[in-house]
Amino acid sequence: FALRHIHCIISIELSESKPQMNTDKKHDSNIQAKINGTTREFKEGISILEAARNLGIEVPTLCHDERLKPCGACRMCLVEVKGSAQLVASCMNKLKDGMEIETHSAKTEKSRKMDLRMLARKYPREEFLKYAEKPFHQLAREYGLNENDFGAEANSKITDDSHAYIKVDMTRCIDCFACVRICEELQGQFVWQIGSRGQNTRIIWDRGATFAESSCVSCGACADVCPTGALEDRSVLENGFPEKWTKTVCPYCGTGCEMEVGVRGDKVVQIKPAMDSPVNHGHLCVKGRYAHNFVDAADRITQPMIRRNGKWGEVSWAEAIDFAAGEMKRIGEKYGNEAIAVLGSARATNEENYVTQKFVRVCLETNNVDCCARVCHTPTAAAMKMMLGTGAATNSFADIEITKAILICGANPTENHPIAGARIKQAVLKGANLIIIDPRKTELTKYADVHLQLRPGTNILLFNALANVIVEEELYDKDFVETRVAEFEEFKTFVAKYSPEDVAEKCGVAAELIRKAARLYATAKPAMSFHGLGMTEHLQGTEGVMTVVNLALLTGNLGKRGAGVNPLRGQNNVQGSAQMGCDPGVLTGGIALDDGREHFENVWGVPVPKSKGYNQLQMMDAAFSGKLKAMWIVGYDVYLTNANAHKTAASFENLELVIVQDLFLNETAKKYGTVFFPVASSFEKDGTFMNAERRVSLLRKTVSPRGNSLSDWEIVCEMARAVGKGEHFDFHSSEDIWNEIRKVWTNAGGITYKRLEDHGLQWNCPDEDHPGTEVLHTESFTKDVRAALRRIDYRPTKEVVSAEFPFLLTTGRTLYHFNAGTMTERTPNILLRPTDLLEISSSDAAEIGVTNSETVLIKSRYGEAKMPVQINDRVQKGELFCTFHSPEIFLNHITSPYRDRFVLAPEFKVTAVKIEKPAKTV
Ligand code: SF4
> H or E stretch including 687?
strand 687-690
**pLDDT digit string, tens, across residues 608-640:** 999 999 999 999 999 999 999 999 999 999 999
pLDDT of residue 167: 96
Percent of the chain residues past pLDDT 90, beyond the cut = 90
Residue whose CB lies within 8 A of the most ligand 1 atoms, among 219, 250, 259, 813, for a mutation test: 250
Q: Whose C-alpha lies nearest to ligand 1, atom 3? A: 285
- Given a cut of 70, whether residue 21 has pLDDT beyond it is no
Distance, CA 253 to ligand 1 centroid (Å)?
Answer: 5
Distance, CA 285 to ligand 1 centroid (Å)?
Answer: 6
pLDDT of residue 15: 38
CA distances from 49 to 58, 93, 632 (A): 9, 8, 57
Gap between the Cα atoms of 693 and 709, Å rounded = 31
Q: How confident is the model at residue 153 (pLDDT cuts 50, 70, 90)?
A: low
- Given a cut of 60, whether residue 769 has pLDDT beyond it is yes
- Given a cut of 70, whether residue 178 has pLDDT beyond it is yes
CB 763 within 8 A of CB 755: no
Q: How confident is the model at residue 5 (pLDDT cuts 50, 70, 90)?
A: very low
- Given a cut of 80, whether residue 18 has pLDDT beyond it is no
Other CB atoms within a 10 A radius of the CB of residue 449 amount to 16
- Given a cut of 50, whether residue 325 has pLDDT beyond it is yes
For ligand 1, what atom is nearest to the CA of residue 255?
A: 7
Q: 308 pairs with which residues across the strands? A: 311
Q: How confident is the model at residue 64 (pLDDT cuts 50, 70, 90)?
A: very high
Segment 23-30 shows an average pLDDT of: 52
Segment 459-466 shows an average pLDDT of: 98
- Given a cut of 50, whether residue 24 has pLDDT beyond it is no
Length in residues, the chain: 922
pLDDT of residue 19: 32
- Does residue 720's CB lie within 6 angstroms of at least one atom of ligand 1? no
Q: How is residue 324 annotated by DSSP? A: H
- Does residue 823's CB lie within 6 angstroms of at least one atom of ligand 1? no
Phi-psi region of 4 (alpha: psi -120 to 50; beta: other; left: phi over 0): alpha
- Does residue 250's CB lie within 6 angstroms of at least one atom of ligand 1? yes
Gap between the Cα atoms of 24 and 489, Å rounded = 64
Q: How confident is the model at residue 919 (pLDDT cuts 50, 70, 90)?
A: confident
CB 553 within 8 A of CB 812: no
pLDDT of residue 198: 67
pLDDT of residue 376: 86
**pLDDT digit string, tens, across residues 708-750:** 999 999 999 999 999 999 999 999 999 999 999 999 999 999 9
* Cβ within 8 Å of residue 130, ≥6 positions away: none
pLDDT of residue 1: 25
pLDDT of residue 572: 87
- Single-letter amino acid, residue 636: Y
- Given a cut of 80, whether residue 855 has pLDDT beyond it is yes
CB 165 within 8 A of CB 233: yes
pTM of the complete model? 0.93
Average pLDDT, the chain: 93
Phi-psi region of 75 (alpha: psi -120 to 50; beta: other; left: phi over 0): left
Termini Cα distance of the chain: 69
Gap between the Cα atoms of 85 and 107, Å rounded = 11
Closest CA to 455 of 790, 797, 792: 797
Gap between the Cα atoms of 685 and 735, Å rounded = 12
**pLDDT digit string, tens, across residues 774-801:** 999 999 999 899 999 999 999 999 999 9
What single string gives the DSSP state of each residue in 487-512?
A: -HHHHHHHHTT--HHHHHHHHTS-HH
- Given a cut of 90, whether residue 447 has pLDDT beyond it is yes
Q: How is residue 903 annotated by DSSP? A: T
Gap between the Cα atoms of 751 and 742, Å rounded = 7
* Cβ within 8 Å of residue 448, ≥6 positions away: 428, 434, 435, 436
DSSP H stretches of helix in 183-316 = 221-225, 234-239, 286-290
Closest CA to 776 of 561, 592, 552, 479: 561
Q: How is residue 280 annotated by DSSP? A: T
At residue 500's C-alpha, the angle toward residues 499 and 502, to 5°, is: 65
- Given a cut of 80, whether residue 16 has pLDDT beyond it is no
For ligand 1, what atom is nearest to the CA of residue 256?
A: 7
- Does residue 284's CB lie within 6 angstroms of at least one atom of ligand 1? yes
Gap between the Cα atoms of 525 and 562, Å rounded = 8
- Given a cut of 90, whether residue 213 has pLDDT beyond it is yes
- Does residue 549's CB lie within 6 angstroms of at least one atom of ligand 1? no
3-state secondary structure string across 65-78:
CCCCCCCCCCCCCE
Q: How is residue 526 annotated by DSSP? A: S
Gap between the Cα atoms of 692 and 687, Å rounded = 17
Q: 451 pairs with which residues across the strands? A: 436
**pLDDT digit string, tens, across residues 821-846:** 889 999 999 999 999 999 999 999 99
* Cβ within 8 Å of residue 200, ≥6 positions away: none
**pLDDT digit string, tens, across residues 897-908:** 999 999 999 999
> H or E stretch including 598?
helix 593-604
Residue whose CB lies within 8 A of the most ligand 1 atoms, among 285, 397, 414, 818, for a mutation test: 285
Q: 312 pairs with which residues across the strands? A: 307
- Given a cut of 60, whether residue 847 has pLDDT beyond it is yes
pLDDT of residue 735: 98
Distance, CA 287 to ligand 1 centroid (Å)?
Answer: 6
Distance, CA 362 to ligand 1 centroid (Å)?
Answer: 35
pLDDT of residue 728: 98
Buried (b) or exposed (e) across 731-768, using 16+ Cβ within 10 A?
A: beebbebbebbbebbebbbbbbbebbeebbbbbbbbee
Least confident piece of the model among 15-24, 91-100, 327-336, 404-413: 15-24
* Cβ within 8 Å of residue 803, ≥6 positions away: none
Q: Whose C-alpha lies nearest to ligand 1, atom 2? A: 253
